[in-house]
Amino acid sequence: MSQWFDTIVTQFGQLPWDAIGQQLTYNPESPMIFSSGIFLWLFAGFIIVYAMLHRHLAARLIFVTAFSYYFYYKSSGLYFFLLALVTCSDWLIAQRMHRTVSQTGRKWLVALSLLIDLGLLGYFKYTNFFGHIFAQMTGGHFSDLSIFLPVGISFFTFQSLSYTIDVYRRKIRPLDSLLDYAFYVSFFPQLVAGPIVRASDFIPQIRRPLRVTRTMVGTGLWFIICGLFKKAVISDYISVNFVERVFADPSLYSGLENLLGVYGYALQIYCDFSGYSDMAIGIALLMGFHFNINFNSPYKSASITEFWRRWHISLSSWLRDYLYISLGGNRKGRVRQYLNLFITMLLGGLWHGASWNFVAWGSLHGVALMLHKMWMQLTGQKTGVPHRRKWVQVLCVVATFHFACLCWIFFRNREFSGSMTMLNQIFTNFHPELLWQLLTGYWQVMLLMVLGFVLHFVPDRVEARCKRAFVSLPMVCYVLVLVVMVVIIIQVKSSDIQPFIYFQF
């Protein structure tokens, strides 16, 4: 017996503990993402324990919250304390607000929540940007501070703010349990890159009896597989092998290559972000929670207004409900409505990042929304499309897509000069004769781009039929499809894990 025990201890000591420790601790060069191998292994263990706790609500809430904080630690290191700070402060403020009768007192409390949440966001995201602006205005000099932007801070601060604002507006009652609120804010499927989940949608699900049906499992795996394909196959491949090269120095490429690079980025950012959202929705479903859809084939839009009803729906609806309506919405005349639209999109651009490129991106969308609203009011059209003829609809979709692509140029480039260089190349140095050379030299990239856009424009009824067919398969087929997807990802992935684009926001 003693010899057997000594053998076990020896073998245990020979395990590669250093390598295991490196995988389990924070690595700024390799943050945890859904498509990484370490997450898949951790989630497999997580879901087993989660299922074992299905009859123990308090233990399950503690376990998921602890895992969520660990997930955030693997994404941002010790900055998880900011998540705890926002959680505790907004929970306490909402509690006090609920007990405060005076409207003035309630206003001061919601202002305090705004100050804490937006103050943290402002410091980590905008200090250097506004520091340079102030220095230029005063003729001084400003040196960038070494400030690390915690992953997902824009998402969890907006999510927590929606809770305190809804309590202030008396739309929801505050939670009595800090654990419940911590569970809501830190829920790991949507913690670092959305979707921004409303308290009114999520909180009622927390204490429901855990029930995961076979349909929910099939639907969840469908979303996860679709998200993995979008992110790890299409987005990462066309990014590493074409898009990044063009945007790194647009002057080295012809206008045709720049235009195809813009088309590639339009597909890349959609597949990257909607792929993450799909995986978040799927993982939540496997845990018994329902999220609203965050992307609805946005490039099918026939107007810029429709585009923002289909793109990043959780953010656009958040900006509408908590910023646009707070500014007055459409209640104070047409001129004020147009101004409110512009301000909302300008601040929406700044939400994405602290640079003049994002200001330009938000401003372009703001002006487009203003003009489209004017057109709708002048023509009396509810959709903004004057005819229902098919060719007119197609032209509107093409025009909207190309306007979105124009805006993506400013969104993607780090410097404003890079955006102007790219536009100059497209309009003055096009060289269409290079098309065949591009198609043959980058045939894998072009094939994936065509596949990505074809899948994007597949009719909704066809997509729904495919999903129903997948969900109806036997459980063993789910596993086989997932294994095939992992094999495909291994074959096409680059040497380094490509972080999700929206991690930087």
Contacts of 101 (CB under 8 A, 6+ apart): none
Contacts of 348 (CB under 8 A, 6+ apart): 315, 316, 319, 362, 365
d(CA 136, CA 69): 40
Q: Is 352 a catalytic residue?
A: yes
493 by Cβ neighbours in 10 Å (0-12 / 13-18 / 19+) ranks as middle
68 and 191 Cβ atoms separated by less than 8 Å: yes
d(CA 175, CA 181): 7
319 and 346 Cβ atoms separated by less than 8 Å: no
The number of beta carbons lying within 10 Å of the beta carbon of residue 204 is 10
Buried b (16+ CB within 10 A) or exposed e, 148-170: ebbbbbbbbbbbbbbbbbbbbee
DSSP annotation of 413: -
DSSP annotation of 384: S
261 and 290 Cβ atoms separated by less than 8 Å: no
Q: Report the Cα 467 to chain-centroid distance in Å.
A: 23
SS (H, E, C) 287-308: CCCCCCCCCCCHHHCCCHHHHH
- DSSP codes joined into one string, 455-476: HHTS-HHHHHHHHHHHHTS-HH
143 by Cβ neighbours in 10 Å (0-12 / 13-18 / 19+) ranks as exposed
d(CA 260, CA 310): 23
369 by Cβ neighbours in 10 Å (0-12 / 13-18 / 19+) ranks as buried
Contacts of 98 (CB under 8 A, 6+ apart): 167, 173, 174
Using the Cα atoms of residue 240, residue 246, residue 249 and residue 252 in order, give the sign of their dihedral: positive
- Helices 199-206 and 153-168 cross at an angle (nearest 10°) of 90
Among residues 281, 283, 240, the alpha carbon closest in space to that of 264 is found at 240
Q: Which of 98, 290, 352, 431 is catalytic?
A: 352
> Dihedrals φ, ψ of 54, to 5°?
-65, -20
186 and 69 Cβ atoms separated by less than 8 Å: yes
- What are the structure tokens assigned to 267, written together? 């597909």
Which residues are annotated as catalytic? 352
